[in-house]
Amino acid sequence: MSLEPATVRRIAKLARIRVEDDEIAPLQTQLNAMLDYVAQLGGVDITGVEPLSGGAQMAMRLREDTMCDGAIAEQILANAPDRAGEFFAVPKVIE
């Protein structure tokens, strides 16, 4: 695998991580190493093997539709970096 510097910048942008110019090359090396490591799986012959959707081959459990949570606004807001009354407050994002 070999990622272009432009792809590294794009991945960083999608992840909202600021990356300085001098960090691109080392990141490129590290990401490539990770991709190469995972790419070894490509060598396994999986002809005729169904995709596995989870660690255990079982179906999802369904819960009944009852209201049993919420009404904990103070706890929800407790870790917010900023708030305005009962709202979270964030830098203005407007389209």
Contact residues: another protein, CB under 8 A: 10, 13-14, 16, 53-54, 56, 58-73, 75-77, 82, 84-95
Q: Tell me whether residue 10 or residue 25 sits nearer to another protein (CB atom).
A: 10
Q: Tell me whether residue 41 or residue 62 sits nearer to another protein (CB atom).
A: 62
Q: How far is the CB of 80 from another protein (least distance, A)?
A: 9
Contact, 24 vs 3, CB < 8 A?
A: no
Per-residue CA distances from 90 to 2, 27, 38, 57, 94 (Å): 37, 30, 37, 42, 11
Contact, 77 vs 83, CB < 8 A?
A: yes
Q: How far is the CB of 36 from another protein (least distance, A)?
A: 20
Q: Tell me whether residue 49 or residue 71 sits nearer to another protein (CB atom).
A: 71
* Torsion sign, CA atoms 84, 87, 91, 95: negative
Q: How far is the CB of 17 from another protein (least distance, A)?
A: 11
